[in-house]
Amino acid sequence: MAPVAPSRLGLWEAVRVGLRSLAARKLRSVLSALGIAIGIASLVGVLGLSESSKSALLDQISALGTNLLTIEAGTGFGAGDAALPETALKRVGRVATVEAASAVYSIDVGAYRNELVPADRTGGIQVFGTDPGLVRTLNGGVAHGSFLTAATTSYPAAVVGSVAAERLGIRNLDQPVLLYVGGRWIEVQGVLEPFALAADLDRAVLIGDSAAESYYEVDLAPSRLYLRVDQEYLDETRGVLGATVDPENPEEVQISRPSDLLEAQAAAESSFTGLFLGLGAVALIVGGIGIANVMVMGVVERRGEIGLRRAIGATRAHIRRQFLTEALTLAFLGGAAGILLGVAVTYAYSAVQGWRVIVPLAALLGGIAASLAIGAIAGLYPAIRAARVSPTEALRSA
């Protein structure tokens, strides 16, 4: 007679046996997989949403350009309120890598809707003189009317920032709008869209520099310069600008890059992502404990089944493998559901926000890997216990 052939159970058979066992306890299986699903969904959702929102922010930054610099007078030691030299704009224009430059000059008057408004009710609106190139330098847009041109720069005409327009009650320019600025009537010829990189100009009333000189007492020292610089030579240009603007006191010239702020915002959002990922990981661990709990209960409840399987030829290893496979299958199904949920949430929220949807591949693969790892850890102890169940005891006590 031939030797007795060993027992065997293929991997696929083990998966099928596991699926059948899970299907026999549907509600319990679904509930125990739910924890993993929620954990993975939150991981995928958080990663997807943070990537999508960051990409939206980066898109905005690159659309606005990271090559905008602003130059202000710093407050140097013993310098009091330092001012930029009157010739600052001309000088920076001589730097070869400066593509465009505009200046704003502060005019110390208020802008009012009419002469009856008390002088102290400025509404936080500042009046600046500027040149026609400002909007182009800032990549800004005009909502109504037009910006200052070479023709209007010496006339009593003004362009109003978006916030200033709202505060002054200017909705559109269908009817001519006059403002009472520094004891003189000035016509509004344009309303601007918000500036992303120069938010303080949103609260400004802008007048042509020649007009400002003729009608008001203007300090011709610019309050601020806006520069577009060749992106490739940004750092080099930044290095020479201080001495160019004010050769005597280069250290009192303060140069900044507004897009740094947006990048800081992106970085701040990333740090929140870390926090939410941590919360997702906690959900995942709790989900794993749920699976372990259900599997341990299953070992006790299914002693009869374990005993029977041993009686029809299962080895301890087969029993161990079956329970481990069940835990892995449960965790995998939970993880897959979680990924679908997380991607759906990312799509839905990005669609509402108008973001480009980005679901990082690492989140998907990581989600599957994490759920399988959790399933393996959660299933290991119950599987070892199930394999240790004595078949005779199992058949007697079941």
Partner 1 sequence: MNRPRENLAAPEPEAPAIELREVTKQYPGSPPVTALDRVSVRITRGEMVAVVGPSGSGKSTMLHVMGTLDNPTSGSVLIEGIDTSVLDDNSLAAIRGRRVGFVFQRFFLLAGVPVIDNVANGLLYAGVARTERREAAEAVLDRVGLGPRMWHRPEQLSGGETQRVAVARALVHDPAFVLADEPTGNLDSEASQSLMDLFASLHGEGRTIVVITHNESIASALPRCLKILDGRLEQDTEALAR
Looking at beta carbons only, is 59 or 393 nearer to partner 1? 393
Regarding 314 and contact with partner 1 (CB under 8 A), the answer is: yes
| Pairing verdict, β 157-160 and 184-192 | parallel
Regarding 304 and contact with partner 1 (CB under 8 A), the answer is: yes
The angle formed by the CA atoms of residues 381, 385 and 388, to the nearest 5 degrees, is 145
- Residue of 5, 96, 119, 361 interacting with partner 1 (CB under 8 A): 5
Part of the chain binding partner 1 (CB under 8 A), chosen from 1-9, 29-37, 146-154, 261-269? 1-9
Nearest-approach distance from CB 24 to partner 1, in angstroms: 5
Nearest-approach distance from CB 380 to partner 1, in angstroms: 19
Distance separating alpha carbons of residues 256 and 237, to the nearest angstrom: 12
201: which DSSP letter? Answer: G
| Pairing verdict, β 111-112 and 178-181 | antiparallel
Regarding 7 and contact with partner 1 (CB under 8 A), the answer is: yes
Please say whether the beta carbons of 181 and 205 come within 8 A.
Answer: yes
Q: How far apart are the first and last CA of the chain?
A: 36
Structure tokens at 286: 């709790």
Distance separating alpha carbons of residues 15 and 18, to the nearest angstrom: 5
Part of the chain binding partner 1 (CB under 8 A), chosen from 13-21, 206-214, 235-243, 329-337? 13-21
Looking at beta carbons only, is 23 or 119 nearer to partner 1? 23
Regarding 27 and contact with partner 1 (CB under 8 A), the answer is: no
Distance separating alpha carbons of residues 320 and 299, to the nearest angstrom: 11
- Residue of 54, 91, 224, 310 interacting with partner 1 (CB under 8 A): 310
- Residue of 261, 317, 348, 369 interacting with partner 1 (CB under 8 A): 317
Part of the chain binding partner 1 (CB under 8 A), chosen from 46-54, 131-139, 241-249, 385-393? 385-393
Regarding 11 and contact with partner 1 (CB under 8 A), the answer is: no
Distance separating alpha carbons of residues 384 and 368, to the nearest angstrom: 24
Regarding 305 and contact with partner 1 (CB under 8 A), the answer is: yes
Part of the chain binding partner 1 (CB under 8 A), chosen from 198-206, 242-250, 302-310, 341-349? 302-310
- Residue of 62, 87, 270, 392 interacting with partner 1 (CB under 8 A): 392
- Residue of 93, 313, 348, 353 interacting with partner 1 (CB under 8 A): 313
- Residue of 11, 116, 119, 312 interacting with partner 1 (CB under 8 A): 312
**The amino acid at 381:** Y
Distance separating alpha carbons of residues 214 and 121, to the nearest angstrom: 25
Part of the chain binding partner 1 (CB under 8 A), chosen from 6-14, 53-61, 98-106, 145-153? 6-14
Residues in contact with partner 1, counted by CB under 8 A, come to a total of 34
Looking at beta carbons only, is 183 or 313 nearer to partner 1? 313
Regarding 1 and contact with partner 1 (CB under 8 A), the answer is: yes
- Residue of 3, 118, 124, 354 interacting with partner 1 (CB under 8 A): 3
Regarding 15 and contact with partner 1 (CB under 8 A), the answer is: no
φ, ψ of residue 107 in degrees (nearest 5): -115, 125
**DSSP states of 17-33:** HHHHHHHHTHHHHHHHH
Regarding 315 and contact with partner 1 (CB under 8 A), the answer is: yes
Distance separating alpha carbons of residues 139 and 64, to the nearest angstrom: 7
Regarding 307 and contact with partner 1 (CB under 8 A), the answer is: yes
Regarding 316 and contact with partner 1 (CB under 8 A), the answer is: yes
86: which DSSP letter? Answer: T
Regarding 4 and contact with partner 1 (CB under 8 A), the answer is: yes
Regarding 320 and contact with partner 1 (CB under 8 A), the answer is: no
**190 Rama class: left (phi>0) / alpha (psi -120 to 50) / beta:** beta
> 378: closest CA among 314, 343, 335?
335
Nearest-approach distance from CB 312 to partner 1, in angstroms: 5
Nearest-approach distance from CB 331 to partner 1, in angstroms: 23
Residue 191: CB partners within 8 Å, gap ≥ 6?
142, 143, 144, 145, 159, 160, 162, 165, 170, 172, 173
Regarding 299 and contact with partner 1 (CB under 8 A), the answer is: no
The angle formed by the CA atoms of residues 31, 36 and 39, to the nearest 5 degrees, is 125
- Number of Cβ atoms within 10 Å of the Cβ of 22: 21
Binding residues for partner 1, per CB under 8 A?
A: 1-10, 13, 17, 20, 24, 304-305, 307-318, 390-392, 395-396, 398
